Amino acid sequence: MNRIAEHREARGLTQKHLADLVGVDAASISRYERGAVDPRFARATKIASALGVSLDDLYVHDGNAATPQPVRGEVAA
């Protein structure tokens, strides 16, 4: 589970604004926030930077959670 929406909302950003900062479309941010797709490392790093948080802060750590895997068809950032 990620905390992208939590950090985005805390900074008063819309999905569109965050998408513009990261260089993706708002639909991608929506998919990331819902957990439908996990962003690749480079994109997650851009999101963290745009939100002013560490990469660790984007994710809720759960010892039982599976390691995120690249999603088929996602283009590397």
CATH of the domain at 28: 1.10.260.40
What is the structure's pLDDT at 54? 94
Predicted confidence band at 61 (pLDDT cuts at 50, 70, 90)? low
What is the structure's pLDDT at 12? 97
What is the spatial distance between Cα 57 and Cα 67, in angstroms, rounded to a whole number? 16
Asked if residue 11 is part of any domain, the answer here is: yes
pTM of the model: 0.76
Handedness of CA 38, 68, 55, 42 (dihedral sign): negative
Predicted confidence band at 66 (pLDDT cuts at 50, 70, 90)? very low
What pLDDT, in 10s, does the model give residues 26-56?
A: 999 999 999 999 999 999 999 999 999 999 9
Handedness of CA 7, 41, 76, 23 (dihedral sign): positive
Q: Which domain holds residue 41?
A: 4-58
Q: How many domains does the chain have?
A: 1
Q: Helix axis angle, 41-51 relative to 15-22, nearest 10°? A: 120
